[in-house]
């Protein structure tokens, strides 16, 4: 598929020849159409969806067969049965389904908007600020074209990233964020099959292990009412401390020659967003990493306990998934490249050991009771000595929990 400017591919678009007036006229008409259809926000999400769909069409997006759908539904049903004795939280699955790659994008896009719009807005603002003040009055209504261009740039590259991510994620909750609709457990059979080929593990065991992880995520996010907002707010708070490198934007834009559309291919967003090196931002990052580690650690500990001797390859699968998450996987690459945000649970092994220690000391019900309120959860400091944390007295009475709730409201 031919490329057009701004670093993305648009279905049906042809790269224009600057010496051909007719081609340039058609190209400008395509740009005008793209700008006219742009979203009102800082990201052109219509373009992002189109680019992601185009990328998946080129890479392949196998339709979910009836057999695969039945296998997914059966795996999720069995996973929930296995999890019952391993978790005090009941099933969180209202709908069990299988998605193709495009369906994953469609069903997770609203959360991506919440995560990416604030950062994209700062990039678009920085691009507008690059226009000299004396020139803004002369530009008049055309000044909005700068913002539209920024939204198109971000939307195009975000679409590419989501297309790549959609080809790798295994389920709705694969990256640890509540991306899908609450209560909907979804697996992507094409990606599970591709991932399993590199593990030398039977496909049905890989599928069941992914189903166990997905079902565990659903239990956690469905029955811990505050957790979804807590995680997304932690991401947003950290993102608010990410700054825009205006010199990087200016340098990238200086390489663009309006008479040479191909020069705009060099306009990449990597390196434009950087975290602020402040105590507040470091504390924000620590809170985010702790939240992600606690969620992933709980899922790993519960899933491994539930699988036990039932799943022959559970040890190999558990280690493979821990390496995949600890390395960051596709999620880290997507966020780090686009918005300077890593979603890697850096202290995953410590978190697993902590939850195991709590379960050993207090039982399954005592372990899962810690999700009753965010102030009950282990802190980053507790990772160093899980046994000491497990032995702490956490016999909160109702009045103390009410005081915690009032503190949150204040």
Which residues are CB-neighbours of 132 under 8 A, at least 6 positions away? none
Number of C-beta neighbours around residue 312 at 10 A: 12
Confidence of residue 260 (pLDDT cuts 50, 70, 90): low
- pLDDT, tens digit, 9 for 90 and up, residues 173-197: 988 888 999 999 999 999 999 999 9
137 or 46, higher pLDDT:
46
Distances (CA, A) of 170 to 32, 64, 86, 194: 38, 14, 23, 10
- pLDDT, tens digit, 9 for 90 and up, residues 392-404: 855 443 444 445 5
Confidence of residue 311 (pLDDT cuts 50, 70, 90): very high
1 and 7 Cβ atoms separated by less than 8 Å: no
- pLDDT, tens digit, 9 for 90 and up, residues 329-380: 665 666 666 666 666 667 888 999 999 999 999 999 999 999 999 999 999 8
152 or 397, higher pLDDT:
152
Averaged pLDDT for residues 158-166 = 86
Distances (CA, A) of 268 to 35, 129, 150, 255, 339: 19, 19, 11, 11, 12
191 and 171 Cβ atoms separated by less than 8 Å: no
Q: How far apart are CA 323 and CA 82, in angstroms?
A: 24
162 and 105 Cβ atoms separated by less than 8 Å: yes
Instruction: Tell me phi and psi for residue 274, to 5 degrees.
Output: -135, 140
| Residue the block writes with tokens 């997770």 | 108
Which pLDDT score is estimated for 12?
A: 35
Which pLDDT score is estimated for 266?
A: 45
Which pLDDT score is estimated for 10?
A: 38
Q: Tell me the two tokens of residue 343.
A: 């979603």
- pTM for the whole structure: 0.81
Which residue pairs, CB below 8 angstroms and at least 24 apart, start in 249-255? 249/123, 249/126, 249/127, 249/130, 250/130, 253/127, 253/130
């Amino acid at each position: 598929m031919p490329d057009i400017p701004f670093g993305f591919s648009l279905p049906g678009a042809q790269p224009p020849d600057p010496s051909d007036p007719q081609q340039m006229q058609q190209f400008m008409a395509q740009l005008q159409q793209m700008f006219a259809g742009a979203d009102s926000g800082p990201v052109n999400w219509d373009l992002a969806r189109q680019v992601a769909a185009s990328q998946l069409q080129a890479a392949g997006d196998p339709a979910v067969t009836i057999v695969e759908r039945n296998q997914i539904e059966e795996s999720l049903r069995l996973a929930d049965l296995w999890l019952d004795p391993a978790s005090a939280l009941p099933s969180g699955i209202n709908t069990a389904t299988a998605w193709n790659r495009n369906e994953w994008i469609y069903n997770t896009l609203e959360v991506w908007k919440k995560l990416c719009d604030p950062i994209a807005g700062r990039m678009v603002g920085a691009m507008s600020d690059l226009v000299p003040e004396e020139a803004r009055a002369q530009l008049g209504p055309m000044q909005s074209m700068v913002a539209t261009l920024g939204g198109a740039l971000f939307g195009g590259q975000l679409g590419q990233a989501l297309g790549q991510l959609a080809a790798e994620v295994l389920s709705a909750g694969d990256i640890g964020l509540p991306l899908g609709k609450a209560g909907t457990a979804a697996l992507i059979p094409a990606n599970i099959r591709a991932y399993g080929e590199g593990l030398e593990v039977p496909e049905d065991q890989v599928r069941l292990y992914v189903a166990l992880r997905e079902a565990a995520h659903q239990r956690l996010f469905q029955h811990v009412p505050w957790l979804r907002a807590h995680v997304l707010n932690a991401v947003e708070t950290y993102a608010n401390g990410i700054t825009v490198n205006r010199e990087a934007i200016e340098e990238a834009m200086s390489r663009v020659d309006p008479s040479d559309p191909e020069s705009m291919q060099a306009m990449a967003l990597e390196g434009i967003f950087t975290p602020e090196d402040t105590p507040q931002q470091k504390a924000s990052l620590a809170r985010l990493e702790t939240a992600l580690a606690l969620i992933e650690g709980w899922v790993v500990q519960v899933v491994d306990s539930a699988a036990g001797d039932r799943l022959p390859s559970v040890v190999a699968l558990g280690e493979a998934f821990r390496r995949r998450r600890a390395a960051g996987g596709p999620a880290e690459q997507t966020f780090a490249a686009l918005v300077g945000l890593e979603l890697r649970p850096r202290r995953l092994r410590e978190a697993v050991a902590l939850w195991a220690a709590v379960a050993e000391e207090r039982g399954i019900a005592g372990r899962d009771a810690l999700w009753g309120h965010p102030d009950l959860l282990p802190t980053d400091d507790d990772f160093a000595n899980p046994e000491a944390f497990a032995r702490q007295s956490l016999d909160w009475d109702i009045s103390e929990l009410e005081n915690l709730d009032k503190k949150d409201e204040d």
